[in-house]
Amino acid sequence: MTPDLPVIRLKPKANAQAIRRGAPWVFDNELVMDRRSKALAPGSIARLEDAERNALGVVAVNPNSRITARMLDRDPEARIDSGWFRVKVDKALSLRERLYDLPFYRLIHAEADGLPGVIVDRFGDTLVVQPNAAWADVLLAPLIQALADATGARTILKNSGGRGRALEGLDDADAVLMGVAPDAPVPVTMNGAIYMADLTGGQKTGLFFDQRENHAFAARLARGAQVLDVFSHVGGFGLAALVGGAQSCLCADGSAPALALAVEGARRMGAAERLDTVKGDAFAVMETLAEQPARFDLVVCDPPAFAPNKPALEKGLRAYERVARLAAPLVAEDGYLVLCSCSHAADLSSFTGACLRGIGRAGRRAQLIHSGFSGPDHPLLPQLAESGYLKALFFRL
């Protein structure tokens, strides 16, 4: 055993088998939190044992978090050093390089890539890192070195806006960890569309790579269509629809800077004349459009997470139902409605039910033609339901 690591231990009634089968988290109520365990500094590395003192692996510990231990390595002899990080990054990189010809993707998807709480998105030779767990903040230097060595990145930015950092007791200060921050949005090519990613002032890490596969499916429905993209951000679905041959697209969002980036992306694609934008509250925009005679062949609604946790689930499901109820009347007969959720607390069944209730309340009848999820650069950890957060339902009305 590794002699220099502190030990934390499961309570006798804790489910050690779940850990052995791949569960990545251990909660505070599953551990013997004596004075010694509580005194461990957030981000400490420890050896996890079951109640009979059998080693389960090496974990990162944060006594101040509900998720007190995060599994790093099932080998109790593992040393979490620069070599360990390089192995993890190389494994993650090999998957993405097999999947994508261009270096635009999620490189590290937290627990599913063996780096719990760590998100890394790649934008060419620039990486944006979200260290959303205390251990990743403590060991940021070897992580950054491994990322730079593996990818050849010239710039690495730290984005501290993730909700998980607050739950871990971490600060929200962004930083330039290597190189120089880009002074302009970065053009990103996906599915033939050009998206402008604001890596220092935009949402999350600057762009949502997770919808890539769903953008592509929507583009198949967009040929010759009039399209409405609600909660469009930088034109995710809208620009994909233009690549698919949409006659026109209206992007609606509450952020003027995001809409400006959508316009710039369309301009670079040579499709500026087919894109219009409207800034405003999405619900109000849909209510206003309902008063007009025009209808759309394809309507997409990709809102923020209305149910980011279980306490918010019921309120969130009502919000998704309202989105569906307001969007459905805007769809032409035999047109298509795409409804998305990035709320991990709302599972597929609950989300589908909310959407169907909203469509029904709008007096429309729906065929569900496709269910989409996040792309393969956002792999799922089967033992962690939260990793399957994204749902996209494609209806024909």
pLDDT digits (tens, 9 = 90+) for 69-99: 999 999 999 999 999 999 999 999 999 999 9
Q: CA 220 → CA 191, 255, 338, distances in Å? A: 11, 27, 13
CATH 1.10.238.10 is right for the domain spanning 7-73:
no
Segments making up each domain of the chain, as ranges: 7-73, 82-178, 186-396
Residue written as token pair 């400006």 = 260
Q: How far is CA 255 from the centre of its chain?
A: 19
Written in H, E and C, the secondary structure of 175-234 is EEEECCCCCCCEEEEECCEEEEECCCCCCCCCCCHHHHHHHHHHHHHCCCCEEEEECCCC
Give the C-alpha separation, 367 to 313, whole Å. 25
Burial pattern 294-318, b for ≥16 Cβ within 10 A else e, equals ebbbbbbbbbebbbbeeebbeebbe
CA-based nearest residue to 127, from 143, 113, 116, 111: 143
Nearest partner of 236 among 372, 128, 347, 331, judged by Cα: 372
Q: How far apart are CA 244 and CA 247, in angstroms?
A: 9
DSSP state of 150: H
Would you say 42 and 84 are in contact if contact means Cβ atoms under 8 Å apart? no
Compute CA 312 distance to the chain's CA centroid, rounded to the nearest angstrom.
Answer: 18
Q: How confident is the model at residue 201 (pLDDT cuts 50, 70, 90)?
A: confident
Q: Tell me the pLDDT of the chain averaged across its residues.
A: 95
| 367-372 sheet: strands from edge to edge | 275-279, 248-253, 226-230, 296-301, 331-341, 391-396, 367-372
Q: pLDDT digits over 254-309, tens only?
A: 999 999 999 999 999 999 999 999 999 999 999 999 999 999 999 999 999 999 88
**pLDDT tens by residue, 129-140:** 999 999 999 999
Tens of pLDDT along 156-180?
999 998 888 988 999 999 999 999 9
Neighbouring C-beta atoms of residue 288, cutoff 10 Å: 13
CB atoms within 10 A of CB 209: 25
pLDDT, position 388: 81
Q: Are 8 and 71 in contact (CB under 8 A)?
A: no
What is the fold of 186-396?
A: Rossmann fold (3.40.50)
Superfamily the domain 82-178 falls into:
RNA methyltransferase domain (HRMD) like (3.30.750.80)
Lookup result for tokens 């805007």:
330
Q: In what order do the strands lie in the sheet with 155-158?
A: 104-109, 118-123, 126-131, 155-158, 175-178
Examine the pLDDT at 3 and tell me if it is beyond 70. no
Write down the pLDDT at residue 222.
98
**Dist. CA 56–CA 219, nearest whole Å:** 47
The predicted model scores a pTM of: 0.94
End-to-end CA distance of the chain: 61
What is the full DSSP assignment across 350-377? HHHHHHHHHHHHTT---EEEEEE---TT
